[in-house]
Amino acid sequence: MGRGPQNGRAPHLFALLLFAGVVAIVWWLLAMGERFLPEFARLLDRPVLHRGSLSVFFGLSSVTGAFRGREVAVTLQLKRGRYTQGSLIIAMRVGGEQTLTYDGIEARTRDDTGRRALFTIAANDILLNVEDGWLKALWQPTGFVIFPGSFEEQKWRTVLDAMSVIAASLESAT
């Protein structure tokens, strides 16, 4: 009969351990998203991280800086609700105030290095457009993806390199 009270504690202990495990996993995923942009900032010259005091709750942060002499602004929107989707927008200053869809960018990017850069962007599932003098790359993965996941320096350096080539190609076409 001495075992009765001990058996009553086991379900409570299991529930507490399960709850602690869920909290640890959620914290780990949130921490991964919060580390992504500071790590991305290391790829930029003179980076300035912009984060509000409530960015952990709203999931919105940005960094500005330069890459290969071009002004860059990066915005990260982490998924914070059932009906929202996370996104990463990399904007790179390009000469002129033109507005182009992907088709317009592709039509004006005629040199071989520019075409290879377009292929690199497409291979990373990134959408491009030009808006108000900014070449914008949108990465918004769909499906079962932990967004943004761990930072892959080589991948994002390659994307920035490709954007720089495309920006130069666009400027030479005007």
Q: What is the pLDDT of residue 26?
A: 55
For 119, what's the count of Cα atoms within 13 Å in the CB-facing half-sphere? 7
Q: What is the pLDDT of residue 75?
A: 94
Q: What is the pLDDT of residue 56?
A: 58
The amino acid at 22? V
Task: Identify the segments of the chain with pLDDT beneath 70.
Answer: 1-10, 19-33, 53-58, 80-83, 143-146, 174
Distance CA 107, CA 121 (A): 15
Q: What is the pLDDT of residue 136?
A: 97
Task: Kindly list the domain boundaries of the chain, sorted by start residue.
Answer: 36-173
Q: What is the pLDDT of residue 96?
A: 76
Q: What is the pLDDT of residue 27?
A: 53
Distance CA 114, CA 161 (A): 11
Q: What is the pLDDT of residue 42?
A: 96
CA distances from 145 to 5, 86, 87, 139, 148 (A): 44, 10, 12, 12, 8
Q: What is the CATH number of domain 36-173?
A: 3.30.1460
Q: What is the pLDDT of residue 33?
A: 58
